[in-house]
């Protein structure tokens, strides 16, 4: 019967039917290829974010029953001076990343092309900080900043100044950690710039040479404009990465002294896993997510417009 | 003579950067080789006594266990990621369908995600699944958070493999799985290498999930173990430096032997070619 019916169908429906069958087959194939990644991703990324959002409307210590309190966590958060301090500190990390790390990374990359002896060894050493684990870096620098035995104060003394209690002084702790962040990440930008510089055609410099350009003119009129795309993509990486900063601050000061180095990340962690204010911590975490989302979307829009204009 | 004088500023900048990036390593290693009294007498002497006792202490305190845990969980997660991400990247980069773009964006957007936004639910989830305080608790989040960059790298690479190859295979009656296993996967080796190095180093150094999901020393990974040492070693600086040196050693050794691969892997999709 079945086969008889099929044969009675017109040519067109048969084509449609087989196309449908092929589409189903294709959907199944796509599903099978994607399923493992999608399941892991949904369980450990998408569902947790939605959960965080829902937890943020509750007062909850993590074990006993949750109490729904609406937007109260957010109201409290916006009146919480520690939260604003931590947001400001996050912004300082962003600023340092963009305006110190990236230029320094560029200088390091330029040095790799300098006509001096031993540059191969230099370049290997320059990259080393980026290989070390953040926890190890944090612990190492805690001792480098030691008020009595640390090398940094040794240098400070050499220059004729008094010892500084770097990490336990509210005025210097943030600067000290930012220096370590610069130490860790500049090599990363060095590599990005090096790759971009290798791509710049030698002919450009040669013809500039013939036109009588000096080294500075060559840098500002050839190298820098051609590095613009790398500067933009490095800035994106720096901004997004800085909003996520946690490890080095947690290890070196734990956000102290007196919240001078508190970040949204360290504050959220303390609220969640030390004070067990899981609802409040979820509100902080969700704000972190929103900020990252808004920044990413803004960057994409700016980047899109820039590319549409055909600029660099 | 004039030539070399002109180069003086370059040498100075080069050396300053060398000291800035390299000195902390010199300090770490030289301190790790001092006994405690030598450290207090001459904390900055670079070549003094060579004392390997600190390293023995560190091993006695359980560093081996942390090493094994870190290797186990990083390798397991990275191998799983390589397979899962390669599978997902195949339809994302080589097949046309309606949700293709949306799905790609969903995966890629994970790259900007602050881990904190998932921390409490993942902590609860691991408790509910009975995985809390075990290496298995780390596996899920490690795989999930390595997927975005891996899919990003692999789809980029797969798009560049010519379509004609698989069309020929299709005519020969090869299924999509056949094409994936026999044609795409073998060609993917360099990209998989990048994925491996990038994720391995990141997971090897991962701290926050370990901090939240593991509590007993026998399940700690290396970064967590180091932090634990810090509490116990805070007066024994040479001992701590020995631990830090040992923890950094594997990466340094791998880097020395295959600099280019490591650099390329660590910068992930950011550096092409």
Q: What is the DSSP string of chain B?
A: -HHHHHTHHHHHHHHHHHHHHHHHHHHHHHHHTS-HHHHHH-TT-SS----THHHHHHHHTTHHHHHHHHHHHHHHHHHHHHHHHHHHHHHHHH---TTHHHHHHHHHGGGG--THHHHHHHHHHHHHTT-TTSHHHHHHHHHHHHHHHHHHHHHHHHHTS-HHHHHHHHHTT--HHHHIIIIIHHHTHHHHHHHHHHHHHHHHT--HHHHHH--SGGG--HHHHHHHHHHHHTT-HHHHHHHHHHHHHHHHHHHHH-HHHHHHHHTGGGS--
To the nearest whole Å, the CA of A2 is away from the closest chain B CA by: 28
Q: Are strands A67-68 and A58-59 parallel, antiparallel or unpaired?
A: antiparallel
In this complex, which of B118, B244, B273 lies closest to A52 when CB atoms are compared? B118
Which A residues, 94 through 153, put their C-beta within 8 Å of a C-beta on chain B?
107-108, 111, 114-116, 118-119, 122, 124-136, 139-144, 149, 151
In the predicted model, is pLDDT for residue A311 greater than 70? Answer: no
Chain B residues near residue A66 by CB distance under 8 angstroms:
none
DSSP-derived letter for residue A169 is: S
Residues A218 and A205 sit within 8 Å (Cβ to Cβ): yes
Confidence class of residue A23 from pLDDT cuts 50, 70 and 90?
Answer: confident
- The whole-number average pLDDT for the span A74-85 is 94
Q: Nearest-CA distance from A19 to chain B in Å?
A: 14
Question: Is residue A109 situated within a structural domain?
Answer: yes
Q: Largest Cα–Cα distance of chain A, in whole Å?
A: 101
CATH architecture of B62-270: Orthogonal Bundle (1.10)
Inter-chain residue contact A37 with B88, CB threshold 8 Å: yes
Based on the fold, state whether residues A120 and A222 are members of the same structural domain.
yes
DSSP B106-127: HHHGGGG--THHHHHHHHHHHH
Cα B205 → chain centroid: 6
Cβ–Cβ under 8 Å, residues A187 and B259: no
Domain with CATH 1.10.3720.10 in chain B: 62-270
Q: Which of residues 162-181 of A touch B (CB under 8 A)?
A: none
pLDDT in tens, A245-288: 899 999 999 887 999 999 999 999 999 999 999 999 999 999 99
Amino acid A63: pLDDT: 84
| Cβ-based contacts under 8 A for chains A and B | 258
Rounded to 5°, the CA angle A102-A107-A109 comes to 90
| Assembly ipTM | 0.88
Asked if the Cβ–Cβ distance from A135 to B207 is below 8 Å, we say yes
Contact B223 A268 (CB under 8 A): no
Highest mean pLDDT among A183-197, A295-309, B73-87, B259-273: B73-87
Residue B269's pLDDT band, with cuts at 50, 70 and 90, is: low
Question: Residues of A with CB below 8 A from B177's CB?
Answer: 29
| Whether residues A136 and A269 fall in one domain | yes
CA dist., res. B160 & res. A299, Å (int): 27
Q: Give the nearest partner residue to B140 out of A43, A136, A149, using CB atoms.
A: A43
Domain membership flag for residue A112 = yes
Please tell me the distance from the alpha carbon of residue B115 to that of residue B123, in angstroms, as a whole number.
Answer: 12
Query: Looking at residue B6, what is its pLDDT?
Result: 75
The reply to whether residue A122 touches residue B17, judged by beta carbons under 8 angstroms, is: yes
CB contact (8 A) between residue B117 and residue A288: yes
Average pLDDT, chain A: 88
DSSP count for chain A of H helices, then E strands: 16, 2
Collapsed DSSP state (helix, strand, coil) of residue A68? strand
pLDDT of B47 higher than 70: no
Using a CB-CB distance cutoff of 8 angstroms, which residues of chain A are in contact with residue B119? 48, 268-269, 272, 285
Residues A114 and A247 in one domain: yes
* CATH code (residue A206): 1.10.3720.10
How confident is the model at residue A1, as a pLDDT?
A: 46
Determine whether the interchain pair A143/B241 forms a contact, defined as Cβ–Cβ distance below 8 Å: yes
Q: How far apart are the C-alpha atoms of A223 and A264, rounded to whole Å?
A: 37
User: Are residues A23 and A88 both part of a single domain?
Assistant: no
Q: At what angle do helices B100-108 and B135-159 cross, to 10 degrees?
A: 130
> Which residues neighbour B223 within 8 Å (Cβ) at sequence distance 6 or greater?
A133, A134, A135, A136, A247, B70, B205, B206, B207, B210, B247
- The reply to whether A37 and A102 lie within a common domain is no
DSSP three-state, residue A89: helix
**Residues A90 and A49 grouped into a single domain:** no
Task: Give the helix/strand (H/E) hosting A58.
Answer: strand A58-59
Question: What does the pLDDT look like over B227-237, one tens digit per residue?
Answer: 888 887 767 88
DSSP A132: S
Three-state DSSP at A170 gives coil
CB contact under 8 Å between A272 and B120, yes or no, is yes
Q: Which residues of A203-227 are buried (b: 16+ CB within 10 A; e: fewer)?
A: eeeeebeeeebeeeeeeeebbeebb
Residues A219 and A137 in one domain: yes
| A73 inside domain | no
pLDDT of residue B190: 87
CB contact under 8 A, B259 and A43: no
Q: Does A264 touch chain B (CB under 8 A)?
A: yes
| Interchain contact, A125 vs B18, CB within 8 Å | yes
What gap in Å lies between CA B150 and CA B194, rounded to an integer? Answer: 9
Q: Decide if B84 contacts A37 (C-beta within 8 A).
A: yes
State whether residue A24 sits within 8 Å of chain B by CB. no
**How far is the CA of A260 from the CAs of A20, A84, A140, in angstroms?**
63, 11, 21
End-to-end CA distance of chain B: 40
C-beta of residue A240 within 8 angstroms of C-beta of residue A296: yes
Half-sphere exposure of A7 (CA within 13 A, CB side): 4
Residues spanned by the domain of A216: 81-309
Residue A246 and residue A144 share a domain: yes
Residues B183, B86: Cα–Cα separation, whole Å: 13
pLDDT confidence bin for A10, thresholds 50/70/90: low
Q: Is residue A36 domain-resident? A: yes
Over residues B253-270, the mean pLDDT reads 74
Q: Could you tell me if A263 and A170 lie in one domain?
A: yes
Question: How many domains is chain A partitioned into structurally?
Answer: 2
Least confident of B12-21, B197-206, B242-251, B254-263: B254-263
Q: How far is A1 from chain B (nearest CA, A)?
A: 31
Q: Which of B200, B262, B27 is nearest to A124 (CA)?
A: B262
CA distances (Å), A12 to each of A3, A9, A19, B86, in order? 17, 8, 11, 38
């Amino acid at each position: 019967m079945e086969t008889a019916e099929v044969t009675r169908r017109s040519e067109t429906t048969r084509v449609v039917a087989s196309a449908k069958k092929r589409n189903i087959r294709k959907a199944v194939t796509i599903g099978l290829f994607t399923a493992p990644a999608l399941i892991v991703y949904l369980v450990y990324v998408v569902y947790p974010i939605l959960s965080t959002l829902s937890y943020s409307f509750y007062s909850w210590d993590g074990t006993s029953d949750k109490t729904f309190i609406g937007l109260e966590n957010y109201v409290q958060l916006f009146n919480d001076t520690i939260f604003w301090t931590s947001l400001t500190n996050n912004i300082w990390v962003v600023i340092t990343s963009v305006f110190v790390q990236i230029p320094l990374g560029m200088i390091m990359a330029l040095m790799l092309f300098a006509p001096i002896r031993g540059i191969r060894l230099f370049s290997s050493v320059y990259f080393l900080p980026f290989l070390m684990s953040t926890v190890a870096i944090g612990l190492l620098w805690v001792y480098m900043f030691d008020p009595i035995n640390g090398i940094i104060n040794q240098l400070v003394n050499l220059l004729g100044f008094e010892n500084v209690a770097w990490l336990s002084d509210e005025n210097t702790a943030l600067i000290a950690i930012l220096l370590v962040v610069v130490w860790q990440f500049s090599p990363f930008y060095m590599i990005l710039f090096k790759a971009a510089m290798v791509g710049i055609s030698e002919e450009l410099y040669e013809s500039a040479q013939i036109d009588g350009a000096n080294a500075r003119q060559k840098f500002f009129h050839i190298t820098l404009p051609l590095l613009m795309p790398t500067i933009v993509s490095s800035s994106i990486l720096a901004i997004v990465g800085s909003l996520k900063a946690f490890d080095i601050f947690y290890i070196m000061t734990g956000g102290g002294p007196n919240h001078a180095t508190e970040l949204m990340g360290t504050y959220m962690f303390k609220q969640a896993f030390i004070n067990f204010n899981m609802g409040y911590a979820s509100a902080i975490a969700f704000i972190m997510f929103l900020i990252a989302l808004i920044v990413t979307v803004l960057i994409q829009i700016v980047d899109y417009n820039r590319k549409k204009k055909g600029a660099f | 003579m004039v030539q070399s004088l002109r180069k003086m500023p370059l040498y100075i900048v080069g050396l300053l950067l060398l000291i800035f990036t390299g000195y902390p390593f010199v300090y770490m290693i030289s301190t790790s080789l001092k006994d405690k009294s030598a450290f207090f007498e001459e904390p900055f002497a670079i070549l003094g006594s060579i004392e390997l006792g600190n390293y023995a202490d560190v091993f006695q305190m359980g560093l081996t266990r942390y090493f094994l845990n870190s290797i186990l969980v990083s390798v397991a997660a990275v191998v799983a990621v390589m397979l899962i991400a390669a599978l997902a990247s195949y339809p994302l980069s080589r097949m046309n369908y309606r949700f293709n773009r949306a799905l790609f964006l969903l995966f890629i957007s994970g790259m900007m995600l602050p881990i904190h936004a998932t921390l409490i639910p993942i902590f609860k989830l691991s408790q509910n699944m009975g995985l809390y305080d075990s290496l298995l608790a780390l596996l899920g989040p490690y795989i999930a958070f390595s997927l975005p960059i891996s899919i990003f790298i692999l789809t980029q690479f797969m798009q560049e493999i010519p379509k004609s190859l698989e069309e020929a295979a299709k005519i020969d009656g090869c299924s999509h799985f056949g094409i994936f296993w026999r044609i795409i996967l073998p060609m993917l080796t360099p990209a998989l290498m990048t994925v491996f190095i990038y994720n391995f180093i990141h997971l090897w150094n991962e701290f926050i999930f370990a901090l939240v999901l593991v509590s007993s020393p026998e399940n700690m990974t290396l970064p967590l173990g180091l932090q634990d040492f810090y509490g116990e070693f805070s007066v024994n600086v040479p001992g701590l430096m020995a631990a830090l040196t040992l923890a950094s050693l594997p990466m340094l050794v791998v880097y020395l032997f295959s600099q280019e691969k490591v650099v390329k892997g660590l910068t992930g999709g950011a550096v092409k070619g």
